[in-house]
Structure formats: structure tokens, C-alpha cells
Amino acid sequence: MTESFHYRRLVQFADTDLAGIVHFASMFRYMEEAEHALWRAAGLSIHQREDDMGWPRVSASFEFRNPLRFEDEIDVAVRLRDGGRRALTYDHTIVRGETVIGTGTMTAVCVSRGPDGSMRAIEIPAEIVQKLRAVLRRGDDQSP
């Protein structure tokens, strides 16, 4: 699927290290923020307090190409690579203007949480994937 959702934000000072460059861990936060914005645009929430469903990350990676600095404006493009039976895999591209900062991938598994805190993978409700894909087809843009 080539359709994407775009999330824009400014780099905050707290995201940077002593060299003034965005710390690597911030890239994963940007990817997750964009995922949550995609869900909100679809009328969903990745976390429902009254629900026992959860979405733990089982894989995340990021390939750096260029640095980011304080107050850079970035765009995080999210694509749903795979909406499988029990997991969602997202591809992310972070850009500043025309400059690609890096690309990343994140996979979350749909789980049911037991009263004892245990988790077991369950099938993703079809309406979740349908709503996410509808937003991706529209190519929505969101800012915090």
C-alpha cells in the first residue's frame, strides 16, 4: 500500500543531545506519535481504558540518513505495510523539507490482556484495519 498519513511537528529542545542533534530514541517517539495521530484520524484510540485489548511493539528499527536539530519542522509519513491477522506493520519516513532524515519500521501485535497481566495475541478486529486504510487512502495530514 502506497497511501500515507502525514504527521507534522517541531523538534523540541528536550529531544536533542549535548551535540544539539536529536537523540536517536526520539525517532521512535516520532514514529509512535504519528501512529497515534493516524488512529485518531480514523476515529480510533490505540488505548481504551475499559478495553482489555493492547498493542505492544514487538519490533522497531530506524535507519538514519541526516541529523535533526532543535526547532526543525518535520513530517512523519506513515504507511501500513501489513495489516495481518494479528499484527500491524508500519513503515515511516521522516523528512525535513525535501531532506530524508531516515526511515523506520514498527510492528505492533494485537493482544488481549488477562486480569493477571498476561497477554495473548488475538485477531485484529476487521473494522480497525478498514478505518486505518480509509484514512491512508485519503492521505490526511495532521499536526499536534
39 pLDDT band, cuts 50/70/90, is very high
Question: What is the arithmetic mean of pLDDT over 21-37?
Answer: 96
5-142 CATH pick, 1.20.1740.10, 3.10.129.10, 3.40.190.10, 3.40.1530.20: 3.10.129.10
The share of the chain scoring above pLDDT 90, in percent, equals 77
Give me the chain's average pLDDT, please. Answer: 91
Listed in sequence order, the residues at least 6 apart from 67 whose beta carbon sits closer than 8 Å to its beta carbon are 21, 22, 101
For the CA atoms of 129, 132, 133, 139, the dihedral, rounded to the nearest 10 degrees, stands at -170
Beta bridge partners of 121: 111
Can you give the residue ranges of every domain in the chain?
5-142
Which one of 37-41, 52-56, 80-84 scores highest in mean pLDDT? 37-41
